[in-house]
Amino acid sequence: MDSLLQQAVEVLASVPRMLVFTGAGISTESGIPDFRGPDGLWTRVDPDDFTIERYVTSPDIRRRAWRMHLEGALWGARVEVRPNPGHQALVDLWRAGRVTGVVTQNVDGLHQAAGLDDDAVAELHGNVRRVRCLGRCSTTWPTEEVLQRVEAGEEDPHCPACGALVKTTTVLFGELLSPETLARARGMADAAGAVLVVGSTLSVHPAAGVAVSVVQRGAPMVIVNRGPTDLDRLAAVRIDAPAGSALPTLAEALTTPPASTSR
C-alpha cells in the first residue's frame, strides 16, 4: 500500500462511520464518460439544451432528449453498464457498518446496481431510470415504459393521466434539488465523523455543500479523484488515482479485523 493510501486508511479508521460523496469519476470506469472531460457529454451537445426552461418550452428539445434516451446516449434504461470495483468497494464499507450513507451527484443508478439499498443512497440529481409527470398528479414510471411509448411513435410523450409533460427524474439546470433528498443527504452528513469524496471535483453546488458541511464541523476529508478538485486545500489526504483501484484497497484495510496476537 502506498503512503497516501496508508494515510487515508489511518484518517478514516479513526472515526466510527464516514459519509461517502461521489461524482462522475466513479462511473467512468464503467464506461460512462463524465460531463466535462475530453469525451464528455458537453463535447457532443449544448449544455444550454439541458435547462428546465428549454425542456418545458421546446417540443424539439424534448423529442431530441427522448431519442437520446432511446439510443442509450443518456445512460437510461437501455444502457448496459455495470458497477465497477469502486462501486463494489463502497458496498463492502456499507455492509461493514463504516458508512452513514452515499450521497451522489450521479444519475446512473450504479450504486444500487452494485448492491446498496435505496435508503443508503441519496441521489441529489435524480435518476435516469425513472420518469415523472411535471403536472399536479406527479405520477412516476420506469423510464423503460416511456421509451416503449416513444418506440411506438410518441415522439413527445405526455402524462396519460393528466396530459402534462413528463421527464426523467434527473435534475436539469435551473431546477431545484428535491428537498426530501437534500434533507436525507444532510442527515447522512450530520451522522458522519469524516467524508470520503470519490470522483467529484466538488465544483457543483449546492451538492458539494453536503460534503463541505462535514469538514465545517472539523471532521477530516479524504479525496480520491483523477486530477485536482476545487477543495483540495480542505483535504486531509488527496489521492490522484482511479476509484476502481484505490477504493478496494481502502475498503479492505478498513473492514479487515486486526490480527490477534498470542501471548
- Any idea which residues carry the catalytic annotation? 125
Residue 122, beta-bridge partner list: 103
SS3 of residue 224 by DSSP: strand
Residues recorded for the chain? 263
B/e letters for 59-82, b = 16+ CB within 10 Å, e = fewer, are: eebbeebbebbbeebbbbbebeee
CB 147 within 8 A of CB 153: no
CA angle 178, 118, 5 (to 5 degrees): 100
Alpha-carbon distance of 157 to 21, in angstroms, equals 34
From the list 134, 136, 168, 138, the residue with the least C-alpha distance to 150 is: 168
